[in-house]
Structure 1
Amino acid sequence: MDTTTLLSAAARGDQAAWEALVERYASLLWSIARAYRLSEADAADVVQTVWLKLVENLGRIKDPERLPGWLGTTTRHECLRQLRRVERERPADDHVWQSEPAPGEAVDAALLLNERDATLWRALAALPEHCRRLLRALMATPPPSYAAVSAALDMPIGSIGPTRQRCLGRLRERAGAAGLGTEDRA
């Protein structure tokens, strides 16, 4: 069923249509929320807020086929709003990249892991915008469909795989230049 039909039916109260919309686009919303490195609870709040905004605007969506873009934009705005809220509430001595080691885990291992993660995030941040957006969208668990990524990023489906490969190559180069060897890559 196409998005126009699903939106129209959901606006009339069709629960099955609403569930189909959620199933179709949930991974897209989660991939965007996770790309902003929100906690699981904050990401869940963002996703829930986006669904609520869609419910509030079901009858006002002018171009239903552009719904993935609307959902993506709304999710990004909510993520930024959530990050500002979290930043206001964060204690002054809290460090973004530091995490507590798991019980029994050596502090050295936790520090090395944090350092590796920080280096990878810096390498990702140095990539061109289109690469950052694509790789973040594809990092979701479970990964979104190429159709959802295509709609959200306004990118032809056939170019997602090759672009992903080029972007990963650039990420490897930048990570290698920053001191991460091939043995550090998963």
Structure 2
Amino acid sequence: MNTDLTALDPGRLVALALAGDRDAWAEIVHRYERVAWKVLAGFDLSPEDRNDVFASVFFRLFERLGTIREPDKLPGWIATTTRNEALTMLRSRSRETPVDALAESFDDPCGSRSTGAGGPAPDARLIDQELRAALRVAFAELPDECRELLVLFMVDPPLSYDEIAEISGRPRGSLGPSRGRCLERLRRSPALAVYLEERS
């Protein structure tokens, strides 16, 4: 007679899964997956990133199942691990240089990305390439805390202020002023001087 896995307590389910019962493991995932998805709903991650985090959480659980001493506390373990994995995913974004987003903030500094006929100017691509190269130089010159903060403001999909505060370790109320100071420091970079002069 088959055991009704849905009626088993967490400790028994874990014991069966450790003994190689695949159905018991499937029941663990089914029983607690809602915990992970509920936590993930609070993060601005793409569907692909959320799926990656979800898979990572339950892979870690499978790896560490034998170390779980209090199976009744599995929901808390899953919630904490999901949150940590989601934050790790967000931090990985902050190591990318948001050149395209930064370039757009300069609002066509040389005024030559399009012609009067509505098509691209002959030198528009070269200007864009030069601007992006200058932005990479200017961005690399910023302090680490400025680079991280600006990237967090420019990731796609956008992060909430609460998420940026948690990831960066800054008070929420300081984010706007800090972002402004970092952008001003970026604009003062010698690498961007020619573009700002053309714009003025």
TM range (shorter): 0.5 to 0.7
Give the match's secondary structure for 2:189. helix
**Maintained 8 Å contact 2:150/2:182:** yes
Deviation at 1:56, TM superposition (A): 2.7
Instruction: Report Cα offsets for 1:121-165 as digits up to 9, x if no partner.
Output: 221111000000000010023421111011111221111111111
CA distance in 1, matches of 2:30, 2:188: 46
CA distance in 1, matches of 2:43, 2:180: 24
**Residue identity matched to 2:39:** L
CA distance in 1, matches of 2:94, 2:164: 18
Match of 2:42 among 17, 20, 24: 24
**Maintained 8 Å contact 2:53/2:82:** no
Deviation at 1:180, TM superposition (A): 2.1
- Point out the more displaced range, 49-58 or 111-120: 49-58
**Could you state the TM-score of these two structures normalised by the residue count of structure 1?**
0.55
CA distance in 2, matches of 1:77, 1:136: 10
Alignment of 1:56 with 2:59, yes or no, is yes
Alignment of 1:134 with 2:137, yes or no, is no
Q: Can you give the 5+ residue segments of structure 1 that lack an aligned partner in the other structure?
A: 1-8, 31-43, 81-103
CA distance in 2, matches of 1:152, 1:159: 14
**Maintained 8 Å contact 2:39/2:83:** no
**Could you state the TM-score of these two structures normalised by the residue count of structure 2?**
0.52
User: CA 1:151–1:76 in 2, change beyond 3 Å: closer, same or farther?
Assistant: closer
Match of 2:172 among 157, 161, 164: 157
Say which structure, 1 or 2, has more relative contact order (CA 8 Å, 6+ apart): 1
Aligned position for 1:12? 32
CA distance in 1, matches of 2:122, 2:83: 46
Deviation at 1:111, TM superposition (A): 1.1
**Residue identity matched to 1:145:** S
Aligned position for 2:83? 67
**Residue identity matched to 2:183:** L
User: CA 1:111–1:61 in 2, change beyond 3 Å: closer, same or farther?
Assistant: farther
Q: Percent identity?
A: 29
CA distance in 1, matches of 2:162, 2:125: 37
CA distance in 2, matches of 1:125, 1:109: 24
User: CA 1:105–1:138 in 2, change beyond 3 Å: closer, same or farther?
Assistant: same
User: CA 1:133–1:79 in 2, change beyond 3 Å: closer, same or farther?
Assistant: closer
**Residue identity matched to 2:56:** K
Aligned position for 1:118? 133
Aligned length: 136
Q: Which has the larger radius of gyration?
A: 2
**Maintained 8 Å contact 1:176/1:182:** no
